[in-house]
Amino acid sequence: MSLNVSVTPDWDVPALGCSPISCFVIPLIGRLKELVVEGDSVHLEPFLTLPKGTVEWLEAIQLIIHDSLYYPVTVFETAGRLRRVTLCHGTVSSFITDNPLDYRLPWAQLEDLELRHWRTIDADKGVALLRQCPSLVRCSLNITAAVAGPRSLPIQQPQSPIVLQYMKSLSVTIRLFSLTSANHILGPLILPSLIQMTLHGSIQWSSEVVAVLTLSGSLKMLTLGIPVPALEIDTIIRKAPSLELLHVPQSTFLASTLQLISSGEVVPKLDNLQCNVNEGMLDAHFDLLESRGALQSCTKITTVEFFVLTCSTYSLYHGGRAEKLIKQGWNIMITIDLVDDSDE
């Protein structure tokens, strides 16, 4: 059984005769397998402070909370079947201070964890959280700063490795007021089963991360929504033979990398590409698509988005080439970023 309950301050509790949590959640709690609850901590207290052993059938919980806890959470202790957890801060507030670990979840058994718009966790706490979750298969961390704070200090001592042997999909989005090193978050991780990785936000690329991304040899989907040097992109694709989707909208390719992709020497299974393109290299990218399309030994790169930085209007010639390829079966999108290079 699944249940979705949202508790807001305008609930007419006297008309119900009891709180929404007490009326709708608690009577069914012993039978629920999936539960979504949202509200302020005061409204969620009757549920979150239930004794351990109460939710023995619960397999998935999505908790959206609007403020900080002022009491210990006990309901999830000994929740032996709980595998999927989503924690979300539902409102923008500078008064939220709780740490995800305050929820006393059975971290070691979780297989799917999502932190959505969490405003009280930095890179260090994120790493500490992952260290508690050795069974994770999928994880999404979306960390958002509620107010500007001091710049985080770099890690002074190397961190011990965190082996997440089952992790197949990891997504990290950080929106803070200063850059966080990618190595700060990913450096300690050992991900031998990784298939999908996504990085977005105020994250500064670090070359040490290449080894984390490519260790499994099975990486199929890679999205790096941060600037990554072209030489590093080249290194990644040489070490990721199974790559099928590559989205690097803020990164360009070396000419030598384009040749390798064109000939099928690297990423022979790639069929979805998104990248930044300097105006003078746009023809080379069209050539890449045509060359790969003519090969029998490689997958055709059919879905493409090019972000073109240009100081002039998009030429009719380039538009004609793109239109021709589209008619031949390619799905091509070209986004033009016009730069005004006139004298001020």
* Total domains, the chain: 1
pLDDT of residue 287: 94
DSSP label of 21: I
Residue 126 lies in a domain: no
156 inside domain:
no
| pLDDT tens-place values along the chain, 344 residues long | 665 655 554 454 555 556 778 777 888 888 889 998 888 888 889 999 999 889 999 999 999 888 888 889 999 988 999 999 999 876 655 456 667 888 889 999 999 999 887 766 677 788 889 999 999 999 999 877 544 444 443 444 557 899 999 999 999 988 776 678 888 889 999 999 999 999 998 889 999 999 999 999 999 999 999 999 999 999 999 999 999 999 999 999 999 999 999 999 999 999 999 999 987 888 899 999 999 999 999 999 999 999 987 656 556 556 788 888 999 999 999 888 766 655 44
Give yes or no for a contact between 9 and 41, defined as CB atoms under 8 angstroms apart: no
For residue 21, tell me if it sits in a domain.
Answer: no
Residue 146 inside a domain? The answer is no
Looking at residue 341, its pLDDT comes to 55
The verdict on residue 318 lying in a domain is: yes
Cα separation values, 224 from 137, 196, 228, 234, Å: 20, 11, 8, 14
CB 215 within 8 A of CB 194: yes
Q: How much helix, strand and coil, in percent to the nearest 5, is found in the chain?
A: 25, 25, 45
Q: Is residue 23 part of a domain?
A: no
Query: What DSSP designation does 185 have?
Result: H
**Going along the chain, which residue ranges are E strands?**
2-6, 34-39, 60-65, 84-89, 112-118, 138-144, 162-163, 169-175, 180-181, 189-190, 196-201, 203-204, 221-224, 245-248, 272-278, 303-310, 331-338
Question: Could you list the residue range(s) of the whole structural domain that residue 342 is in?
Answer: 224-344
pLDDT of residue 91: 61
Q: What is the pTM of this model?
A: 0.88
pLDDT of residue 245: 98
pLDDT given at position 186: 92
* pLDDT score recorded for residue 9: 47
- How far, in Å, CA of 183 to CA of 13, rounded? 49
Question: Is residue 25 assigned to a domain?
Answer: no
Residue 337 lies in a domain: yes
Other C-beta atoms closer than 10 Å to the C-beta of 243 total 23
17 vs 14: CA distance, rounded Å: 5
